[in-house]
Every structure is written in C-alpha cells, then in structure tokens.
Structure 1
Amino acid sequence: MSVQRPDAESDSVVPPSLARASLLREPPATQRGNRTRAALIEAARVVFERDGYVDARLTDIAKEANCATGSFYTYFAGKDEILAAVLEIAQEDMLHPGTGRVAPADDPHAVIEASNRAYFEAYQRNSRLMGLLEQVSNVDPAFRELRRRRSDAFVQRNARSIADLQRRGLADRELDAELASRALSSMISRLAYGAFVVGDGPGDSATFEQLVFTATRIWANALRIPDQT
C-alpha cells in the first residue's frame, strides 16, 4: 500500500521489477513470433493461477496456448523464464498509486482512504496472481529477494509521507516513521491476502467498503492523525 501526498511528485518511487531482467529475452523479430509468445504468456498465467507454480507443467501451458510443446522452447527455457514474462506484463496492473483520486487540498484521511482503496482493488483484481507470488517466494530465494526489495520501496515511500505529516504536525511525532510504515504496510498487505487469497474477507461491495473504512481508520488512528471533518 502506498500513501503519498498528491502533490509530492518529486517523491515518487519506481519500485523494482518482480521480473528478473536476466530471465527476459528480446522479443521475437516477427509478428507471428510475437503473437505466439503472447499466447504462451497468457496461457502461462492461466495455468500458474490454476495449478500453482510448483505443479504447473510446460505441456499444459503449451496446450492452453494451442501450441506444440516444442514451440514453447523457441521462446522460453523453462517455467522461471515464462513466469518472469508474465510478471513483466502483469505488474503495471498490480501498482496502486491511488492518490490521483484526491486533490492536494484534501486531508490526510482522504489520501489514506484513496490509497487503501486502490491497493485493495488492485489486489482483488489480481488475487490469484498474488497467491501465486506467495508460493513462488517460498520456493525461489532470488524471487523472494526481488519481492522484498519491491515491498521495501513502498515502505520507504510511506515512511517519507509519514515523516512529512509529522513535520506538519498532523501525525504522532514520537513514532519512528519507518517502523510505523513497516507495521502499517504489513497490516494492509496481510489483510488483503486474507480477504482475497485465503478467502476470509469481504465477498460483496458492502463488506469491501467496510474493509477500506476499517483499514483507513486503523492507519489514521495509529498515527494519531486528527479528523478534519
């Protein structure tokens, strides 16, 4: 989750990619090759989300893409390469800036709510993929490190926003901004995982709104942000 003042463009962060650059090949030189590669990537996401990374088979990916198994190896060496390609395409939709929904004059509660809402919406859209990332992190140390670095980029951005609120007298100045950011960001991500991957959370629009409200209220209360309404 990313909480940032809407006018803080100079503090924007481009998080590290979840797709290992060393696993990404140059795109095919022909339109036909690009179509086949795109079909394989789309099929891989379906199979990974359905069967999990460990149990996914390359033959099933090729079958889902209506390709011969041999064609797979023209574009990818194995599961790790095609997962990297899936993530390269999917990760833009996994971002959740949120703050574009509020004006600079809005109070911190509005910024936090917009950010939480955008995060939960992105997580819900990609819930199967998010569950897959959890699984891959448990079996691939290199991917786990990439995921940690990406998460840390958002934690650091939130920490800078919390520190800005502290300087403006709008948040508890006794809190360590980075530790507070780490704790609150972890809370939001685990809430989303429980709600949309494990399935112990909201299943309709009303309870989704309750999730956004509760997460926002806890975040604001933890920082002792005054209610300006």
Structure 2
Amino acid sequence: MPSETDPADPEVPDLVDAGKLGTLPQTARGKRTRDALIAAARTVFERDGYVDSRLVDIAAEAKCSIGSFYTWFESKDEVLAAVLHEAQSDMLHPGTGRIEATDDPIAIIAASNRAYFEAFRRNAKLNVLLQQVAAVDPRFRDMRRARSEAFVARNSRAIRDLQERGLADRDVDPELAAMALSGMVARLAYDVFVIGGPETVEDVVATATRLWTNALGLTEPVLRAD
C-alpha cells in the first residue's frame, strides 16, 4: 500500500550511496554552479539516456566549462547520484507504516495511490532512467532492489495489521499480496505515464484503489475529487 510517510525513515535504504555525491560546495557561488550542473545532468540524462549522455553536453547545458564540472564531480556516476539523491524523496513512494485502529484504510490507500501516481507522472522520464541504469550497473540494481524490498515489507506489515483488526481477508498471504499489489501499481503507472494512455490520474487512482481494496476484501472505496 503506497503511503505518505517519511521517505527518510531509517528502515528504507537510500537509492544512492551518500558518499558518492561529489564535492559539496562551501560558498553560495559554488552551490549555484553545482546546482546548475545537477539540473543540467537531469535534463541530459532524460533526453539522451544514461549510456549515451556525455559530460561535455552536461557542462554545455549548465553553461559552464568541463573544468567546472570536474571541480564538483569526478564522473558521470557521481553526477547521476546527485540527481537521484535530490529527486528520490519525490519520485519514489516510501511505503506505508502501521495503520492505527482509528485510521480509515480505504482513505489511506486512495490518498497514497494518488501521491504515488502524481509523483510518478512528474518524474516519468527519470523513472525510465532508473531502469536504464539498473540494467548496466549491478551496484545500483542492488540498491534499488533493497529499497523496493523495504517498501514491500512495510506494505505486508500494514496488510497484516488490517487482518488482525478483522478488516482484511485473513486467507490472503500478506507478503505475496504486498508484492503483487505493489507491482501492479508500479506497472500501471509505467504503462499510463511512460508508454502513454488516455487515462487521467483520477482514472488510475480509482482503479488501483478498487483493485487494492477488492483484493484485500475491504469495503468499496469512496473517492473524493481534490
């Protein structure tokens, strides 16, 4: 079950190695230059793909010299890590914590699905980039897998909470359900916002929430437009 809990929770590993973010600036001018390079790198990575992107193009996009690039980053890997470090809290949903007895689980599912789909839509090109990097970098692939497993573990605990409260089907395996439903939401987001489709965010939120609640044996969701 997606949620709006804190993405910096220690249970959830970072998507990138915090020690591989390049040199941190000590002055306002240095920060502006480094920020410009990170923004430029995101533009180039999303436009050209990770494998085909070039450092000279990143420097040109940032309107600085290649020498300035090397002041802050040693490689394409480092500037990519900086891009993902800045974007990860927005582009990856943080999973869900325990659902307290006073919470409405259907409202949580609906709101959390909305947050996930809207974040995916904002960062659709960057999510495609994640797949490209995972295909060529085993270390990044392992970190991404660990983060995904942490989200699934959280979701399975939330499903188990619902079962213990008598609100969800007790015959559903919480771990497998978390894997299946999380995968369904991720694939739906990719098909709609990357491959392209006529559906709106409202459409996918309503459908994903109904599938979640039906799969867990919850009552029919009642969604309210923003």
TM-score relative to the length of structure 1: 0.87
Q: Which residue of 2 aligns with 1:73?
A: 70
Q: Which residue of 2 aligns with 1:60?
A: 57
- Are 1:167 and 2:164 an aligned pair? yes
Query: What residue identity is the alignment partner of 2:68?
Result: S
- CA root-mean-square deviation: 2.3
The separation in 2 between residues aligned to 1:169 and 1:163, in whole angstroms, is 10
The offset of 1:19, in angstroms, is: 1.7
Q: Which residue of 1 aligns with 2:113?
A: 116
The offset of 1:92, in angstroms, is: 1.9
The offset of 1:29, in angstroms, is: 2.2
The offset of 1:227, in angstroms, is: 3.5
Give 5+ residue unaligned stretches, structure 2. Answer: none
Q: How is 1:5-16 mapped onto 2 (pairs within 5 angstroms)?
A: 14-16=11-13
Q: How is 1:188-207 mapped onto 2 (pairs within 5 angstroms)?
A: 188-200=185-197, 202=199, 207=200
Query: What residue identity is the alignment partner of 1:42?
Result: A
The answer to whether the 8 Å contact 2:113/2:205 transfers is yes
Alignment partner of 1:66: what SS? coil
The answer to whether the 8 Å contact 1:18/1:87 transfers is yes
The separation in 2 between residues aligned to 1:185 and 1:37, in whole angstroms, is 35
Q: Which residue of 1 aligns with 2:215?
A: 222
Q: How is 1:1-229 mapped onto 2 (pairs within 5 angstroms)?
A: 2-3=2-3, 14-96=11-93, 105=102, 107-200=104-197, 202=199, 207-227=200-220
Query: What residue identity is the alignment partner of 1:78?
Result: S
The separation in 2 between residues aligned to 1:63 and 1:92, in whole angstroms, is 28
Give 5+ residue unaligned stretches, structure 1. Answer: none
The separation in 1 between residues aligned to 2:185 and 2:221, in whole angstroms, is 23
The answer to whether the 8 Å contact 1:59/1:69 transfers is yes
The offset of 1:21, in angstroms, is: 2.4
- Aligned-residue sequence identity (percent) comes to 60
TM-score relative to the length of structure 2: 0.88
The answer to whether the 8 Å contact 2:23/2:71 transfers is no
The answer to whether the 8 Å contact 1:160/1:177 transfers is yes
Query: What residue identity is the alignment partner of 1:210?
Result: D
Alignment partner of 2:163: what SS? helix
Question: After the TM superposition, which of the residue ranges 42-51 and 88-97 deviates more from structure 2?
Answer: 88-97
